[in-house]
Every structure is written in C-alpha cells, then in structure tokens.
Structure 1
Amino acid sequence: MDNPIDTYVATALQSYTVLAIVALLIGAAVAPYAVAVAESNENHVVVVNVDEPITGSSAQETVAELRSLRQNDSVKAVVLDINSPGGGAAASESMYLAVKRLEAEKPVYTSVGDTAASGAYYTAIPSDGIYVTPGSLVGSVGVRASVSSSGGLPPGVTTGPDKAGAMTQDEWYAAIESMQRSFVGSVMEERGDNLTVDRETVAEATVYVGGRAVNTGYADEIGNTEDAVVAAADDAGVSDYQVSYRDPAQPQTSLLGLNGSDATSGNVTVEQAPMNDNGIDRVRFFMLFGTLENERILYNSTDQGGVRDE
C-alpha cells in the first residue's frame, strides 16, 4: 500500500512542474513584447562611422543604415563620426541626400576626426552642427575627373553617336562643371549663413585646418565625438539617453582602383580607369582629396573659365 505522504508529494511535484512549464511558455510569449516596449521607451543617440573612402558599395550600406535610423522612433538624434577623404562623385552625392533626409526629421551632428574632405565634407554639410579637432582637415569643395588616355573609338558600328559610350572632352568639361556647381551650391545653401568666405573662395577647393575651419564657417565648434553627442541630445530635447554605435560600411581596400591613401598628407593613388567592353576609356568622376595617378586635369576651379589639359 502506497504511503499517503509519498502520494501527496508526487502529486504536488507534478502540479508544480505543470505550473512551471506554463509560466515559462507565458514568459516566452510575453518577453519579446516586453523587450520591444522597453526599447521603444528608451531614447537613443546613435553614432554612425564614416571612416572609409566613399564608394558605391560603402555609400549604399551607409544610406541604408541612415534610412533605418530615420524610421526608428527610439532614435532621437544621430552623430556622424567622419574620417574620410571622400570618394566617388555619385556615391558622395547619395550620402549627402541621405543625411539631408535624416536631418529633416531629427537632429544630425558631425564629428570630424582626421579628415572630412571633398565628398566626405559633402556628406557632413546638412548637419545641424559640425565639430572638428584642432588638427582636422575640412573642405576641398571640388570635383575631379580621371581617364587613362585620350581615348578614341575603336573600329565598329553603332546605331547612334552616343551609343559608343565615349565622352568628348567638351562633355567632360560640361559634366565636371555641372557637378562642381552643384557641390558649391549645396555648400552655400547648407552653410551660407555661417560662411565668412564667398562663393568664389569656396570653389577654390581649399582645405582648412581645425580652428581655421571654424573661423571660415566650414565647421561650428572645436570638439570631439562626445561633444557632438551631447549637442545632438540637447537639440533633441533628451537628457536621459543611451549612446549606441553603428559601422555600416566595411573598410574598403580600393576606390575604383585606389591603392592606398594618406588623408592627412593628401596622397591618394588611383589606378588607370578601366575600359568597357568596347575598349573605350571610362571617365571617373571623384569628390576626393588627394592626388590621382594618371590624372588628367579637366577643370581648375581657381580659373573661372576652366583649364584644359593639352
């Protein structure tokens, strides 16, 4: 005959086991909701690294990250932590537009490490504030084009003169002039109230260091990333917030043939522009601070008429 006490204990343990399992199942169902609520109740200031030459792929990844942050209600402000010499013209323009869209909905501040030049400065200008260190290099508002040779069409037949894919030298000049006007115009639009230099000076593509960048209005304050975070949070009206970090683009080992760069000295090496399937030289347009190997100067903004490379 079973002991009544043993029977009672066994029944109780079974009941507790069932209750424990039910509790775990309820907890598992409720936990994601609780976490989501907790996250939505937190205020975040997100620091996004832009610490590589700007290429099509790196820009795509960063633009996607900025879009995600723009749509996230828990993100109250964003800080761009920039250390880049710029990069491809089209990629830099896409970065600028992404930052401009983000800034229209929430505060965006920029902290410059060593360099925010050319396309990287283009990326920064929609920011509500730009912080630089005393040694930061800022500016280089200009566009360059590179092609490996004078080109010329190979033998063949096309259905129209433009189908061959080549650009005449006059078309190169027109394209680079259009990009230059757009770049300078954007700087004047975004920074015009702060600038102490005129449009012609901006078009000279000068690079300013630290305090000089602040004095000319290219930047706003001397400070670091922490200062930019505090300013961004204050602009967003939050005092209790978490700081998180994003590095959406992986470091690039090449930029359309970029072998390496030293942004502080402005030394950048780019291989010859590749050819398309018809053997026609492709012109590469850059918003890049540095020296391009095999570069042909198509336009010099210090001469308002442009300079042809004869």
Structure 2
Amino acid sequence: MSNSPDGSSMTRAQSYALVVAAAVLLSAILAPVAYDRATQPDSRVAVITIEGAISSNTVTPIQEDLREARENESIDAVVLNVDSPGGGAAASEQLYLSVQRTAAEMPVVASVKSAGASGAYYAMLPTEDIYVTPASIVGSVGVRGAAPTPSLPGEIKSGPDKASSTADRRRAQIETLQRAFVGSVMKHRGDDLELSRSEVAHGKVYTGARAVDNGMADEIGSSQDAIRRAADAAGLDDYEVVRKEPPTTGGLLLLSTDDGGTVVVEKSPVGYDAVDAPTYLMVYGTVNTQDEVIGNVSA
C-alpha cells in the first residue's frame, strides 16, 4: 500500500464521493414523502350533519361536533348539512345557541337538502349564508304545544298549579317562544327579508326558489357550493374537507319523515299520564300522540 500524499488524497476523494452519492440517493427516496407533507393542507372545512327530527338525544352529538370545531385549530370554517323538519323547541334553541357560538369564531354556512324547516330553520339563522335547492322546504316559523290534559280523579297535589295548566297559560307560553323565534329571524335576516314581521310569524313554508326570492334563504346551490363559500369566507385557497357522521336516531322522543310528514310524540315520556309536562314543538308536519292526534295550537 502506498503511503504517498497522492494516495491519501485519492482515498479521501473517493470516500467523499461515496458520501455524496449516498446523500443524493437518500434525498431521492425521501423527497416525495417530504413533498407530500409540505403540501398537505393545514386548513380544514368541517361538514356537520343535522338530519331528521331535532331532540335532546340528537342535538347533543351535534353540539359536541360544533364545540370540537371551535377548539380544533385546524378547523377554519363549518358547513351545516341540513335535512330536518325541526323538532322540540328546547332542543332547537340549544342547537341555535351552539351554531351562534360557533359563528362568532369562524364562518358557518348552511346547505339544505330536502328540508330545513321550523326548528331546523331556527338553528341555521346565525349562519352567514343558507344554500338551498329549488325544491327544498324552508321556513315554517312557528311553535306547537299540546292542549292541557285534565288531572286524574282524586289526584292529590301539593299546590293548585303543580303539574297543571290552562289553555290560556299554555297559549301564553307558546306565544313567548314564538316571539323569540320570530325575533331571531328578524335579527339575523331582517336586512334581507322581503317579508314583514307578521308575515314571518304566519309560519308559512316556502320552496327553496321562493325562499331565495323573499330572503328566507340566500343562494340556490349544492353542498359543494356551500363548502366553497365557507372556505372563501375563511380566506382559504388550499383546504381539506372533513365530514362528521350524523348521530344515530335510536331512542328518539320525536320521529319524523324527511318530507315533513307525521311526527310521533310519546304519550307519556315519564310513564305517568297524569303529569302535564308539555312538549313544545318547532316542527313542520302532522303531530300525533301514539295513535291519537294531539290537540295543538299554532303560533
């Protein structure tokens, strides 16, 4: 082996060349992976489904999805994918408040498939825009409540108003809920409406095309149009769409067809028919108590 300076220089040069070649080869292998990571969108639009009748059972997972969207830094906008005739008044109000809280932090846009009526319409009010199809069902701004039931003969109560009501008292309660509903419509959509406050309170239902004309909705378009609108409102050019699965409908107090058909309400959720616990409804459709029609008043 030669110990000459020229031999040592050649060995170092060869070693350097091998290191460079290995680095180039490793870079070629890892470059696509690094590129994929570098180009992965950091922004997301979350699509949250509101489907079927709105009740305390179905609204809870939707509220959780909305809270997760607010707390997840990678979520920049939300689209509500709505196909619901409404439901219970209390649950609809809870959903409205959750949507309003989310809309205060990021753009929220609604997309109506078949129906976005009554309580479902209430829930959509805080959104920036409501997209509908021409045949969508929108509106039905109103409240229903069962007529008071008489006490059982010989029932003993601690006070005259315990578990009881009168028709006048029940109507006053329904009118209070109705004023809140109509007031929210005027607050969020008053500048766009071609309808007066009294016309809104009539509780009419409109097709999507008519709703756009009178200001109850904003645009004719698909859910993809709503997603693009939400992304644009959030200033997103490159984004990923994440979809939340709709909640299961087991154990509902309210059941409904998608086209606003019959809504079934359990006769006595607590198993005691003498308890007069009214279920106020913001729902578009015929209301039945098991096999009997509930007497109801419409705002």
Shorter-chain TM-score range = 0.7 to 0.9
Give the match for residue 195 of structure 2: 197
- Residues of 2 paired with 1:49 and 1:290: CA distance? 21
Question: Cα offset for 1:171?
Answer: 1.7
Aligned runs of 1:288-307 on 2, under 5 Å? Answer: 288-293=283-288, 294-298=293-297, 300-301=298-299
The gaps in structure 2 that reach 5 residues or longer are 1-36
Whether contact under 8 Å (1:141, 1:206) holds in the other structure is: yes
Shift of 1:253: 5.4
Residue 257 (structure 1) shift? 5.2
Letter in 2 for 1:98: S
Structure-1 separation of matches of 2:139 and 2:129: 15
Query: What number of residue pairs does the alignment pair up?
Result: 259
Counterpart code for 1:209: T
AA of the residue aligned to 1:222? I
Alignment partners' CA distance in 1, 2:222 and 2:127: 15
Q: Which residue of 1 aligns with 2:211?
A: 213
1:41–1:74 contact (8 Å) kept in structure 2:
no
What is the TM-score when the length of structure 1 is the normalising length?
A: 0.78
AA at the equivalent of 1:78? V
Bigger radius of gyration: 2
Matches within 5 A, 1:201-280: 201-250=199-248, 252=249, 255-256=252-253, 258=255, 260-261=256-257, 263-264=258-259, 266-271=260-265, 273-274=267-268, 276=270, 277=272, 279-280=274-275
Residue 102 of structure 2 is matched in structure 1 by: 102
* CA displacement 1:228-258 (0-9 Å, x = unmatched): 00010000001000001002421x2564253
Question: What residue is the counterpart of 1:62 in the other structure?
Answer: 62
Secondary structure in 2 matching 1:267? coil
- TM (normalized to structure 2)? 0.80
Superposed displacement of residue 281, structure 1: 3.3
Q: 1:167 to 1:78 in 2, by over 3 A?
A: same
Q: 1:282 to 1:237 in 2, by over 3 A?
A: same
Show the counterpart of 2:122: 122
Residue 296 of structure 1: how far off its partner (Å): 1.2
CA RMSD for the aligned pairs?
2.3
Q: Which amino acid aligns with 1:218?
A: M
The alpha carbon displacement at 1:268 in A equals 1.3
Q: Is the 8 A contact 1:85 1:288 kept in 2?
A: yes
Residues 1:282 and 2:277 are matched in the alignment = yes
